[in-house]
Structure 1
């Protein structure tokens, strides 16, 4: 069977002849990433990691399809005001996810991995709700950059458009990285102890937190760091895909 694991480029003539075990849904955002990375960075990276993981899973006999990335993410105050930054409400994201699950369920595909690329997105409550409507459908979410310890690969990974994201973009899409224009990605933290310690949470106002929209210094980014990290993440995610299909059950007896 010919490998067809990228729905962005696959055609029905080939896909219809195959059997698929699992689908990956890359989910990103449309937002500024400092001065040097594209607005769709979160989409590019979650899709690229997903494709690498799907390729590795195919080599183990687990047929995986990577869906086109969803470019609508949840944004903080201070981001929404920036030109062409798009904020998607919970209800919008939940509606998109529900329609995708309904479509896949109708087609007999009942495992979906949401591969998240945007820290502002959270799918837990959506998945809990969908588990009520589709009890035989397994939906999981993973943030791709948490698949392996980031500090083993980077000096200062950063949170947004820092060394980690910039390095991985340099690996996959070097032509889209303008590192010479990058801001320093300096972050202004909370003054309230309870917020700084994580006792309480509220969304940060991005305009108060960062001048250039980045959090994390991208100056030490390299293509080599990005390649090593991306390959390690893809390998872990691929193993997850294989285990989900090959394991008889999710729980120990």
Structure 2
């Protein structure tokens, strides 16, 4: 949710900044979400709300780093959500249109921003980010992307997203409507999702079980998303698709045995 503009510790938001106040070494976080069904109990902007919250909180944590504070751009609230097309309210611009938007955003931002990081809140956008950001990196742009992930979370509109939204926007959660949907792991339902869409798998649109969700759990999940985002951005390591990763720590070297003058072996 937006932080008050009177809060001096709040991240700087691009939308409320005048152009003379943008530094020549500015860098930008761009939240990207979706407008799509999230079951009968969550709002259509769930992915966008979460992506924005992660970007704002990550920007605050990054402000004291060596790269200086990033600007947070307005949220891109439309994504590739064709799998949710069977539900009223869903607005999808599809893979091709989203790719064009991302490419043109990078080309425009790169005229004045030295670095761009997209913070993605919708899993359906992944293929588009892989293609578009990878292409922009081959053009020489300093751009990467990362996603809002909760380890062990369920797929869609289940306990994970419901808990986070109870923390961020409790007034928008219709808790009395929360009910389990298809609770199988995403890998098990993915072929049907791709072939027939979410509604064929779960008439309610829920992939998971939102019952038992709570705001306190959501606060912890959001904090973990922010910590992971900050770690990836600070590491600055991206794969060939432009997706930020945390470099694996090198394995410790095994101790080397040597033999001393007394014939005793030692390890060091």
Shorter chain as denominator, the TM-score bin is 0.7 to 0.9
Give the TM-score taking structure 1 as reference length. Answer: 0.79
Which residue is equivalent to 1:40? 45
Runs of 4+ in 1 over 3 A off after TM superposition: 1-4, 17-21, 187-190, 195-204, 242-245
Deviation at 1:91, TM superposition (A): 2.0
Deviation at 1:59, TM superposition (A): 2.9
| Count of matched residue pairs | 230
Decide whether aligned partners of structure 1 residues 196 and 160 sit closer, same or farther in structure 2, where only a CA change above 3 A counts.
Answer: closer
The reply on whether 1:216 has 2:221 as its aligned counterpart is: no
Larger Rg: 2
Q: Secondary structure at the match of 2:75?
A: coil
The reply on whether 1:185 has 2:181 as its aligned counterpart is: yes
| Unpaired stretches in structure 2, ≥5 consecutive residues | 1-7, 238-245, 248-268
Q: Is the 8 A contact 2:120 2:148 kept in 1?
A: yes
Q: Secondary structure at the match of 1:121?
A: helix
Q: Is the 8 A contact 1:187 1:209 kept in 2?
A: no
Which residue is equivalent to 1:68? 74
User: Whose RCO is larger (CA < 8 A, sep 6+)?
Assistant: 1
Q: Secondary structure at the match of 2:14?
A: coil
Instruction: Pick from 120, 125, 130 the counterpart of residue 121 of structure 1.
Output: 125
Pairwise CA RMSD: 3.1
Decide whether aligned partners of structure 1 residues 198 and 28 sit closer, same or farther in structure 2, where only a CA change above 3 A counts.
Answer: closer
Instruction: Pick from 125, 148, 164 the counterpart of residue 144 of structure 1.
Output: 148
Give the 5 Å matches for 1:203-242: 203-242=195-234
Which residue is equivalent to 2:263? none
Give the TM-score taking structure 2 as reference length. Answer: 0.75
Q: Within 2, Cα distance between the matches of 1:200 and 1:37?
A: 23
1:67-109, Cα deviation, whole Å (9 max, x unpaired): 11111121244x21321211212221111112211111111x1
Deviation at 1:198, TM superposition (A): 7.8
